[in-house]
Amino acid sequence: MKSVPGSLGTTTSIALRFGQVIFSSSSIFFMSLGVGFYSYTAFCFLVTIMGLVIPWSFTLAILDGYSILATFPVHQSGIFMVIIIGDSVLSFFTLAAASSTASLVDLLLKADVSFCPQRLCCRYQISAAMAFLSWCLLLISSLSNLWLLPWLDAD
Amino acid sequence: MKSVPGSLGTTTSIALRFGQVIFSSSSIFFMSLGVGFYSYTAFCFLVTIMGLVIPWSFTLAILDGYSILATFPVHQSGIFMVIIIGDSVLSFFTLAAASSTASLVDLLLKADVSFCPQRLCCRYQISAAMAFLSWCLLLISSLSNLWLLPWLDAD
């Protein structure tokens, strides 16, 4: 059985999953600090997607931990397919939400200072940056599991 | 040699590539109709990315056509890797640009009618929709070629 760093049941995977949880939580935290985020569709979209990434990544981190501690490697291609599709869909949504937020903050900063004070807009920028980092980690997780898929079928 | 519809050297691939060229050109066309697009970073980003997708997809459509007409199947995994990476990177950028444009148009429509007249904003919305369609086709091309990669190495 070939092992790919970052695929299900490896310590790298746990690190990636916890990274996703931390960055997504930070993104929601910085967005929710400004109470006016629900006025903009893109900001609401970001909060919704980050709210989906947190339980998804946390559940998979627990599955990774169980797989390592109980020395019970998960080799079913069905489980891998579900994880790859879930990771890919969430990574696309995360990228879309992060780009939407970034472009909106850029416009708000340009448009009018009273419309979005410097301090509030800075928080939104940090939130978008955290979402981008979360996207990177989701993509790495997805690609690692995808890379292992042909070997699972071959076994 | 396994053949996957949509992978390099198939008629489906030519259809996908021409679809990408048509949707990207439409996206640029509808964006450029409003002369004020260069005032917004997200709109400039969309035009730049669509301007990269057009020559990329057109070149690959020609390669597909040559491969079919000259009955010279391209089986080198190196060429496939370049195409997969190119398609993936362009699809990520296209998704980011389309989401940025969509969120920006949403805000402009809400903010002020004089800031973005209904007719102009409608064109920007069509442009974003065309970019989303272009992203879908790029993703299909990328996944079709990726699916074929393990069989290329096995041959």
Q: Give the pLDDT confidence score for residue A132 in this predicted structure.
A: 95
pLDDT score for A113: 58
Model confidence at B147: pLDDT above 90:
no
A interface with B, Cβ–Cβ below 8 Å: 40-42, 45, 92, 95-104, 106-107, 111, 146, 150
* pLDDT band of A110, cuts 50, 70, 90: confident
Please state, rounded to an integer, the average pLDDT across all residues of chain A.
86
pLDDT of residue A102: 92
Task: Identify the residue with better confidence: A112 or A58.
Answer: A58
> Which of B98, B103, B150 lies nearest to residue A42, judging by beta carbons?
B103
Cα A19 from Cα A43, distance rounded (Å):
21
The band of A8, judged by pLDDT with boundaries at 50, 70 and 90, is confident
Contact A61, A16 (CB under 8 A): no
Give the per-residue pLDDT at B142.
92
* pLDDT tens-digit readout, B72-85: 777 777 888 899 99
pLDDT at A1 over 60: no
User: A129 pLDDT band (50/70/90 cuts)?
Assistant: very high
* Tokens at A65, concatenated: 């931990």
Chain A partners of B111 at a C-beta cutoff of 8 Å?
A: 111
Under an 8 A CB cutoff, do B107 and A104 touch? yes
Cβ pair A42:B96 closer than 8 A: no
Higher pLDDT, B42 or A120: B42
Average pLDDT (A111-120) is: 68
**pLDDT interval class at A114 (50, 70, 90):** low
B99 to A96: CB separation less than 8 angstroms, yes or no: yes
Cβ pair B103:A106 closer than 8 A? no
CA distance B61 to chain A (A): 26
pLDDT band of residue A46 (cuts 50, 70, 90) is: very high
**pLDDT score recorded for residue B27:** 94
| Whether A8 contacts A80, CB under 8 Å | yes
Mean pLDDT of B116-127: 82
Has residue B101 got a pLDDT over 60?
yes
Model confidence at A155, pLDDT cuts 50, 70, 90, reads low
Question: How many residues make up chain B in this entry?
Answer: 155
State the Cα angle at A25 between B88 and A49, rounded to 5°: 50
Task: Report pLDDT for B128.
Answer: 94
- Closest partner residue to B40 among A95, A102, A107, by Cβ? A107
- Give the largest CA-CA distance in chain A: 62
pLDDT of residue A148: 82
Where does B1-155 have alpha helices with state H? 11-33, 41-69, 77-111, 118-154
- Give contacts of B40 with chain A, Cβ < 8 Å: 107
- What residue in B sits closest to A149 (Cα-Cα)? B150
At A79 the pLDDT is 85
What's the mean pLDDT in B139-153? 84
Q: Mutate one of B46, B47, B107 to test the A interface: name it (highest A CB count within 10 A).
A: B107
Radius of gyration of chain A (CA): 18
Calculate how close chain B gets to A133, using CA atoms only, in Å.
Answer: 14
Of the partner residues B40, B45, B95, the one whose CB lies closest to the CB of residue A96: B95
DSSP element (H, E) containing A99: helix A77-111
Burial label, A144 (beta-carbon count in 10 A; 0-12, 13-18, 19+): buried
> Residue B15: its pLDDT value, please?
94
What does the pLDDT read at residue A91?
Answer: 95
Which of A112 and A48 is assigned the larger pLDDT?
A48
For residue B107, the chain A residues in CB contact (below 8 A) are 40, 42, 104, 107
Give the burial class of B122: count Cβ atoms within 10 A of its Cβ; 0-12 exposed, 13-18 middle, 19 or more buried: middle
- Look up residue A72 and give its amino acid: F
Q: Do A99 and B100 touch (CB under 8 A)?
A: yes
More confident site: B109 or B118 = B109
Split at pLDDT 50, 70, 90, the class of A107 is: confident
